[in-house]
Amino acid sequence: MESTQITDTPPPTPQPVSAEQKRAARGATRPGDRIFLGLSRGSGIFLLVIMAAIAVFLTYRASLAISKDDANFLTTFEWNTGLVPPKFGIAVLAFGTVVSSIVAMVIAVPIAVAIALFLTHYAPRKLSGPISYVIDLLAAVPSIVYGLWGALILVPHMNGLFGWLDTYLGWTGIFSWQGGAPRSMLTVGILLAIMILPIVTNVSREVFRQAPQMIEEAALALGATRWEVIRMAVLPFGRSGVISASMLGLGRALGETMAVATVLSPTFDIQSSLLDPGGGTFAQNIASKFGEATEFGRDALIASGLVLFVITLLVNGAARMIIARRKEYSGANA
Amino acid sequence: MAKRIDVSGLTAYYSAHKAIEDISMTVEPRSVTAFIGPSGCGKSTFLRTLNRMHEVTPGGRVEGKVLLDDEDLYGQGIDPVSVRREVGMVFQRPNPFPTMSIFDNVAAGLRLNGSYKKAELADVVEKSLKGANLWNEVKDRLNKPGSGLSGGQQQRLCIARAIAVQPKVLLMDEPCSALDPISTLAIEDLIGELKERFTIVIVTHNMQQAARVSDRTAFFNLAAVGQPGKLIEIDDTERIFSNPSVQATEDYISGRFG
């Protein structure tokens, strides 16, 4: 208190005390503390700078392209950057990216949660170790390998499933099939599901493992069966963690390039059925066009990348909102 | 409604380690029986064998008999889940379900047992909270999370949750060790009321508490660290604290332990 009074009125001599106190308040008076504070703060700032740099780069290059676009950038179904004036839009790409990712999530998340529950609450320890290891290995497979496997093994084997879906669920429109090669959004979604399964499983497993023992015992002592224990004490506790895990997976699915590019037969239109071949995603479109694109074509592709960036940010924001909404009840208060 | 517990020759293991050995005792219905003894003597383990919670621990297994009236809890074809619906438990640290409201916490056990009408459920929740002397404190915030209550209130919420399913026996594992003296007093008063309806077994480290709340007291001890815990004696609480028949009991309750 005394020192702040002194520094309020300009002192005749410099007051080293006040600066010293400030540093002390941050717990950084010793050299080790100071170095660590500098390093950790520097890393934090570095991250923000990189994010800002990416955003600035994308926005600048995108604005160059969009300002010359003769069609509506968001709703146009074609991609002709070579025309004069150029016409291109991201409607097809946004549709394909979102649809393939949703298919992947719908397939992967329930399976991943089930595997995680099995590993943490059902499997004997001898079994859960090796299974976890194999799942970790699955995460280490490069995406191009998934892509090759998808194109060479998965695609030729999809006909049976597609026929079945068309016969029994074709009336919905979403699962009707005109008999084209199964290089469609559903195949892409299935492949993406396999690719994001390890990350969603691993994160969910860690979350379920941390479900507090004493809450599980409370449920058991009330006469809950194993499934009821999971429903009462594990799933509610793990909900926000599973959402985070799903978002990590979704992030990968949204941005996946090679696997999509090798499996999908790209066309620049939208199929109302998940089974009919065609469509495209942001990442796949950028990868397949970037090499031969002109300077302007590249700017247009970067503009589409900006949209992907924004979609990813929105998805993350939505996930955070879902998590925050139930904070009062979250397991963190246990 | 309350039932008698009759234990004979009960031995419990953690994998190869024998935690308690050859325990036999009878617990009368509508009475409070306190388990006392030094740390590690197996009194909590023994308590957990009475509702088959011991075997939940990896490696936990039990030999011997536990009769609830005439039914052997470890008999063939007995489902541990149904045992736990008859024998309720309150734990050392209050453990309300953090994701549930106060109302849902109390209703949790009922919902496991089947479907109830809303009015029925509300009725049982109110009765149970009243039975746990908590109703007046929470009746205006039944939809708030149970984790927002104080420690003592949370423990009474857990008691309300346990008695809502109308168990025959209520096991309490050091229910006051995480609570302040006033909350402890509230729980002790509650135990006095609950014994009208339930058979109560309480593990406690606090010998004054055992003397205050229980009708019968069992003293457990172990010969050395790593040795299995044993029941030294069980008798009327008054006798245990005034004139126990075993020297080790007297040494323990008078603080000359070692």
Name the A residues in 210-249 with CB < 8 Å from any B CB. Answer: 212, 214-215, 217-225, 228, 232-233, 236-237, 239
Cβ distance of A236 and B89 shorter than 8 Å: no
Tokens 């908590």 map to which residue? B134
Give chain B's contact residues with A (Cβ, < 8 Å). 51, 53, 56, 58, 81-82, 84-85, 88-89, 91, 93, 95-100, 108-109, 112-113, 145, 147-148, 158, 161-162, 165
**pLDDT score for B257:** 61
Chain center to CA of A13: 57
Q: Which two tokens stand for residue A93?
A: 């790409």
**pLDDT score for A4:** 41
CATH H superfamily, domain A87-333: MetI-like (1.10.3720.10)
> Nearest-CA residue of chain B relative to A226?
B81
Distance from CA of B94 to the nearest CA of A (A): 9
Measured between beta carbons, the chain B residues lying within 8 angstroms of A236 are 97-100
Query: Is B215 a residue whose pLDDT tops 60?
Result: yes
* B165 neighbors B85 (Cβ within 8 angstroms): yes
Domains of chain B with bracketed CATH: 5-253 (3.40.50.300)
**pLDDT score for A5:** 43
Q: How confident is the model at residue A248 (pLDDT cuts 50, 70, 90)?
A: confident
Cβ distance of B85 and A330 shorter than 8 Å: no
The b-or-e profile of A240-262 (16+ CB within 10 A means b, else e) is bbbbbbbbbbbbbbbbbbbbbbb
Distance from CA of B187 to the nearest CA of A (A): 18
**pLDDT score for A3:** 42
Q: Cα separation of A111 and A269, whole Å?
A: 31
Report the range of poorest mean pLDDT among A3-12, A188-197, B97-106, B196-205.
A3-12
What pLDDT digit, counting tens, does each position of B49-67 carry? 999 999 988 889 999 999 9
**pLDDT score for B156:** 93
| Average pLDDT value for chain A | 86
Cβ distance of B81 and A225 shorter than 8 Å: yes
**Which among B58, B81, B99 has the least Cβ separation from residue A236?**
B99
DSSP A90-139: SHHHHHHHHHHHHHHHHHHHHHHHHHHHIIIIIS-HHHHHHHHHHHHHHH
**pLDDT score for A12:** 54
Looking at chain B, the whole-number percentage of residues with pLDDT higher than 90 is 64
Looking at chain A, the whole-number percentage of residues with pLDDT higher than 90 is 46
What pLDDT digit, counting tens, does each position of B136-184 carry? 999 999 999 988 899 999 999 999 999 999 899 999 999 998 888 888 9
Distance from CA of B19 to the nearest CA of A (A): 20
Q: Cα separation of B50 and B19, whole Å?
A: 15
Query: Is A332 a residue whose pLDDT tops 60?
Result: no
Q: Cα separation of B217 and B37, whole Å?
A: 10
Cβ distance of A214 and B158 shorter than 8 Å: no
Q: Cα separation of B106 and B121, whole Å?
A: 9
Q: Is B6 exposed, middle or buried (0-12, 13-18, 19+ CB in 10 A)?
A: middle
**Which among B84, B95, B161 has the least Cβ separation from residue A214?**
B95
Mean pLDDT of B58-77: 90
**Which among B56, B93, B109 has the least Cβ separation from residue A223?**
B109
**Which among B84, B97, B162 has the least Cβ separation from residue A233?**
B97
Strand partners, B173: B203
Measured between beta carbons, the chain A residues lying within 8 angstroms of B145 are 328-329, 333
Q: Which two tokens stand for residue A270?
A: 């939208």
Q: Is B161 exposed, middle or buried (0-12, 13-18, 19+ CB in 10 A)?
A: buried
What pLDDT digit, counting tens, does each position of A62-105 carry? 999 999 888 888 888 888 888 888 888 899 999 999 999 999 99
Query: Is A10 a residue whose pLDDT tops 70?
Result: no
DSSP H or E segment with residue A276: none
Tokens 């109308």 map to which residue? B166
pTM of the model: 0.80
> Nearest-CA residue of chain A relative to B112?
A224
Q: Which two tokens stand for residue A263?
A: 């499996």
* A156 neighbors A127 (Cβ within 8 angstroms): no
Tokens 């926000």 map to which residue? A240
**pLDDT score for A153:** 93
Measured between beta carbons, the chain A residues lying within 8 angstroms of B82 are 223
Query: Is B258 a residue whose pLDDT tops 50?
Result: no
**pLDDT score for A13:** 57
Question: Which among B53, B85, B97 is the top mutation candidate for probing chain A, defined by the most A β-carbons within 10 Å of its own β-carbon?
Answer: B97
Report the range of poorest mean pLDDT among A82-86, A142-146, B86-90.
A82-86
* B164 neighbors B106 (Cβ within 8 angstroms): yes
Cβ distance of A222 and B84 shorter than 8 Å: yes
Query: Is A329 a residue whose pLDDT tops 80?
Result: no
Q: For B42, what's the count of Cα atoms within 13 Å in the CB-facing half-sphere? A: 30
Measured between beta carbons, the chain A residues lying within 8 angstroms of B158 are 218
Q: Cα separation of B203 and B39, whole Å?
A: 11
Residue A38 neighbours by CB distance under 10 Å: 11
Query: Is B225 a residue whose pLDDT tops 90?
Result: no
| Average pLDDT value for chain B | 90
Q: What is the dihedral of CA A92, A98, A101, A105, to 10 degrees?
A: -150
Closest Cα partner for A119 from A110, A129, A111? A129
**pLDDT score for A21:** 66
Q: Which two tokens stand for residue B117?
A: 């009408």
Distance from CA of B92 to the nearest CA of A (A): 9
Report the range of poorest mean pLDDT among A25-39, A269-283, B81-95, B194-208.
A25-39
Q: Cα separation of A28 and A44, whole Å?
A: 17
Cβ distance of B81 and A224 shorter than 8 Å: yes
Query: Is A195 a residue whose pLDDT tops 90?
Result: yes
- What is the SS3 assignment for A180-222? CCCCEHHHHHHHHHHHHHHHHHHHHHHHHHCCCHHHHHHHHHC
**pLDDT score for B7:** 93
Q: How confident is the model at residue A7 (pLDDT cuts 50, 70, 90)?
A: very low
What pLDDT digit, counting tens, does each position of A293-319 carry? 889 999 999 999 999 999 988 988 888
Cβ distance of B84 and A220 shorter than 8 Å: yes
Q: What is the dihedral of CA B221, B225, B229, B234, to 10 degrees?
A: 0
**pLDDT score for A272:** 86
End-to-end CA distance of chain A: 39
Question: Which among A225, A234, A329, A333 is the top mutation candidate for probing chain B, defined by the most B β-carbons within 10 Å of its own β-carbon?
Answer: A329
Q: How confident is the model at residue A240 (pLDDT cuts 50, 70, 90)?
A: confident
Mean pLDDT of A20-46: 82
What Å distances lie between residue B83 and A133, A190, A220, A224, CA to CA? Answer: 37, 45, 11, 11
Distance from CA of A203 to the nearest CA of B (A): 20
**pLDDT score for B253:** 87
- What is the amino acid identity at position A230? I
Cβ distance of B95 and A333 shorter than 8 Å: no
* B68 neighbors B3 (Cβ within 8 angstroms): yes
Please tell me if residue A283 touches chain B, with a CB cutoff of 8 Å: no
Domain ranges of chain A: 17-67, 87-333
Closest Cα partner for A289 from A256, A308, A266? A266
Q: Is the dihedral of CA A211, A217, A220, A222 positive or negative?
A: negative
Whether the bond into B58 is cis, omega within 30 of 0: no
Report the range of poorest mean pLDDT among A102-106, A233-237, A324-328, B199-203.
A324-328
Give residues with Cβ within 8 angstroms of A175, minimum separation 6. Answer: A165, A166, A169, A273, A274, A275
Measured between beta carbons, the chain B residues lying within 8 angstroms of A237 are 98-99
Cβ distance of A223 and B158 shorter than 8 Å: no
